[in-house]
Amino acid sequence: MTALCTTLPEHISLLLVDDHKIFLDGLSLALSSLTRELEVHTAQNAEQAEQWLQQRDFDLILLDLKLPDMPGLELLRRWQAQGRMTPVAILSASDSTQDAQAALAAGALGFIPKSSDSEELRLAVTRVLLGESLPAPQPTPIAELTPRQQEILPLLADGLPNKLISRRLGLSEDTVKTHLKALYQELNVHSRTACVAAARQRGWI
């Protein structure tokens, strides 16, 4: 029986793809203790990433979803279509369950939130390098909302005005407005459209 590898090799080569230079510098520093001979290369857009891949192979690519010249998922799908075998993990500021599921469906081995601290980041990268697939992050529990807010959100997403929402739920318009104000504060938004978008990102609707 072949033993499972549980330690990283001394030499590892990573490609970090993100359009923010300061973030790339911080990420490189956070990963510096990953292994003895860590080789880190960076790219700030899809074109630079493609150029690196034409020059050499990598053990892992950490790819941001939002790049200036091409969406990260589109770039990942292109690599998959080309038959590239380099493991890819998505590293994103998005906490959307939908984004995570789309990334995994496109061939990513993991979805790592940028909000991860250094230890969490190193652990996630280590797991991917050892051949594991990271599960999609779970949506923020909807228990943070009141039952009435949970009823209002889907109606808001359907585009119903306050008057129709109040009729549908048997509430006064003032009560609906009060619940909407609380939702805006909870999601840190200032409009109906932004409220729906933020709720969807959290997996609430």
pLDDT at 2: 36
Which structural domain range is residue 62 located in?
11-129
- Residue 120, pLDDT > 80, answer yes
In a domain, 152, yes or no: yes
pLDDT one-digit tens code per residue, 25-82? 999 999 999 988 999 999 999 999 999 999 999 999 999 988 999 999 999 999 999 9
Q: What is the pTM of this model?
A: 0.66
How many angstroms separate the CA atoms of 113 and 97, rounded? 11
- Based on the structure, what is the number of domains in the chain? 2
pLDDT at 59: 96
Q: What is the largest CA-CA distance in the chain?
A: 69
Decide: 21 and 44 in contact? Cβ < 8 Å: yes
Query: CATH number of the domain that 74 lies in?
Result: 3.40.50.2300
pLDDT at 165: 94
Decide: 152 and 169 in contact? Cβ < 8 Å: yes
Chain position carrying tokens 């190193």: 122
- Residue 101, pLDDT > 90, answer no
Which of these, 80, 99, 83, lies nearest to 91 by C-alpha position?
A: 99
Clarify whether residues 50 and 81 are in a common domain: yes
Region of poorest pLDDT, from 66-80, 89-103, 145-159, 180-194: 89-103
In a domain, 136, yes or no: no
Q: What's the one-letter identity of residue 175?
A: T
In a domain, 134, yes or no: no
> What percent of the chain has pLDDT above 70?
92
The CA-atom distances, in angstroms, between 30 and each of 25, 37, 38, 204 are: 9, 14, 12, 32
130 vs 94, higher pLDDT: 130
- Residue 142, pLDDT > 60, answer no
How many angstroms separate the CA atoms of 24 and 43, rounded? 9
Q: How many CB atoms lie within 10 A of CB 62?
A: 26
Query: CATH number of the domain that 184 lies in?
Result: 1.10.10.10
- Residue 5, pLDDT > 60, answer no
- Residue 98, pLDDT > 80, answer no
